Structure 1
């Protein structure tokens, strides 16, 4: 017979467990299960086909293009957004005039809906009349550039938007961590005559380890999840230049109604994310200083 304390604890946990199982664990298991079947139709029920959906993905050049694009997209957005967030946090943590307004300005992109962000950047990227073309014409004399309409620049344009959207969010975590560092550590470093660069590398950066690990895990997830602006602006084009795994899942599941292949691709994406997170905790956690 469970004790009253144990029963009370389970009663408190039950609402969260129901939501976690119903909206996280069950959908993941169901997706894995459906990936081994064909897509059901009105007059044709789903049929077990084993790993054929996975072999079809392996033979699909669009899948490999989307995977390669996603690796470039994540490989660029993760370090850029983290580095920019850290630089902004250090900047607004100092004693400067108007730092509250500066913090708000840095954080503002985070609270904007991604659909609104996409439409805003559509104006920036408009050939000839857009803000970016106006700047490049004034500074370098460049002609009109279709930033999101040509393969050479489309993915880079999407990366810029993602970094702009994410950096302010990560900055808040870094700013909170910086303000939690005891001032006496900096006083001791000053007495020892350490330079500002050495203090940052030997004191600040190690103490930001837990925050950096947390931000890195979230940045990896966002590197594969943050695709709303791509769906709005390019739909994976031109010629799959901005197609990512999640945009491909969206197309397969909701445009072509091939839910079985979409489920298989979702499982592949989950495996990639789980393996990346496991590697981060296995290697980065050893360098994290909690005290």
Structure 2
């Protein structure tokens, strides 16, 4: 039974499949409560019971995982929790780290398309509204495939967000329903379908280019939507040290380039493949979180 039932309709497989329309490459399945949709798909694929193209949607997740093994939970019916199993044939393993970014871009596009809200990306795996986090993404290699999942806060109540750990530098959470213009209701099914349609386009672009993030324009799209670029940041590294600078660029393999200033005033560029990024202060006035009528991300480059 739902622990915290919502008045809105759940994300059921039949409704999402119908919204996707004919010709969709996705096979959608929905469940009630699970530990982790990523873990479910990974186990099923390794057991040989599902094939690439499977999408799993859950109403509640009790043991979700973020980066670095962090836990993540979502009350029943409060979030868009979905994972996708893909096998990007022809994309080298070293290039598959971009697949999480593809789902991030798909969420940004779907939120703009269906909600009229300007969402952006925070390197490496968050979707943000202004300086608050509305979604997290985790991609994992499973054999010759990749499972990528996202949890998007739809109408999580303030008292349902867990308190941050002492000393945490994580962004404060935000729920999408608090940002929708004119307090319109969220079209949950259409939002999920828009996410999968956008992911399809971006994945096709990426695979067609053999995983080349430049030739596919994925790097340009990501950089365009990345709020970390141009921000004063502190990169907290796995060894416990930290580097302060300004987000400068994203490399072809998805690493973050930070410009640092030494004590003598000398400027240098440092590249980070892993680490937690804390946005410090805006270099310029921040973009407003809401931008009704946001264009699909690839339209900004004159694409599809």
Shorter-chain TM range is under 0.3
Structure with bigger gyration radius: 1
Higher strand share: 2
Higher relative contact order (CA 8 A, sep 6+): 1
Q: TM-score, normalised by structure 1?
A: 0.24
Higher helix share: 1
